[in-house]
Amino acid sequence: MLEAIAFYGLAALILGFGVMVITARSAVHSVVFLVLNFLAVAVVYVVLGAEFLAVIQVLVYAGGIVVLYLFVVMLVNQKRTPEAHHDPHRKTGLGIMLASAVLAEVTAIVVYTASAPSASPIPVSSPVVGGNTEQVGWLLYTDYLIAFEVASMLLLAAMVGAILFARRMD
């Protein structure tokens, strides 16, 4: 019962903050709601027994990526709000239709699958005490060694790109 309360509470928070991210008037508000959304997701990870990932979520997402967003929001000190300009050719109605179609479709399919007889409900077992950081680390440096190296290459390439763009123009 406790788990059900936790799940529905967190789900409401995640989706609520998600809606606020995409509906907020100003980008700064959006960033704040994004942090709250990420934190709620991190709590879900703890509930699901992924403590290491929860810590990474807070450190990298909430601590790193979001701060980066904030910096950029401050840097591009906007003279007028982007929403002020209206493009007469913009098909907002079409966008809403497409978006709701995607939402309806994905949810319908997942709900349908989950309610299908082949998918009997599998209860989520209670998390292991002590965490699974060791297992995660073990996998990272054995089966996923190549992926790990490629990720480092990805970050290096991203770094080169970011420095290139952010450097002062001379």
Partner 1 sequence: MHLYPITAYHYLVLAAALFALGATGVMLRRNIIILFMSIELMLNAVNLNLVAFSRLNGHVVGQVFALFIVAVAAAEAVVGLGILLAFYRNKETLNIDEVNLLRG
Partner 2 sequence: MNNLPAIIPILIVVLSAAAAMLAEAFRQPGERMPIAGLGLIGLVGAGAASYFLWDKDAQSFGVVRADNFALFINIILCIIGVLTMVFSNDVVEREDIPGGEYYALTLFAISGMMLMVAATDLLVIFLALEVLSLAVYVLTGIRRESAEGAEAAFKYFLLGAFSSAFFLYGIAFAFTIAGSTRLDEVGKAMASAPHATLAMLAVALLAVGFAFKISAVPFHMWTPDAYEGAPTIVTAFMSTGVKAAAFGAFVRVFLSTLQPLEGHWVPVLAVIAGATMIVGTVVGVLQSNVKRMLAYSSIAHAGYLLLGIVAASEDGKAAVLFYLLVYAVANIGALGIVALLGTAEHPHDQLRDFAGLWRARPGLAGLMTVFLLSLGGFPPTAGFIGKWYIFAAAVRDGYYSLAIIGVLSSVVSVFFYLRIVVMMYMTEEAAAPARPRVSGPAMAGLALAMLATFYLGVLPTRVIEYAVESVKAIV
Residues between 101 and 140 with contacts to partner 1, criterion CB under 8 A: 102-103, 106-107, 110-111, 113-115, 119, 121-125, 132, 135-136, 139-140
111-130: contacts with partner 2 (CB under 8 A): 112-113, 116, 118-119
- 151 touching partner 1, by CB under 8 A: yes
Distances from the Cα of 110 to the Cα of 4, 12, 16, 52, 58, angstroms: 19, 18, 20, 28, 28
Q: Is 93 in the site for partner 1 (CB under 8 A)?
A: no
By CB under 8 A, how many residues form the interface with partner 1?
Answer: 88
Structural contact between residues 40 and 14, judged by C-beta atoms closer than 8 angstroms? yes
Is the Cβ of residue 103 or residue 129 nearer to partner 1 in the bound state? 103
Interatomic CA distance for residues 75 and 3, integer angstroms: 43
* The entry of partner 1, partner 2, none that residue 118 binds, CB within 5 to 8 Å by partner kind: partner 2
> Is there a contact between 34 and 21 (Cβ–Cβ < 8 Å)?
yes
- Length of the chain measured in residues: 170
With respect to partner 1, which residue has the nearer C-beta, 114 or 129?
Answer: 114
Report d(CA 112, CA 43) in Å as an integer. 27
CA distance 66 to 56: 13
Q: Give the footprint of partner 2 on this chain (CB under 8 A).
A: 106, 109, 112-113, 116, 118-119, 143-147, 150-151, 153-154, 156-158, 160-161, 164-165, 169
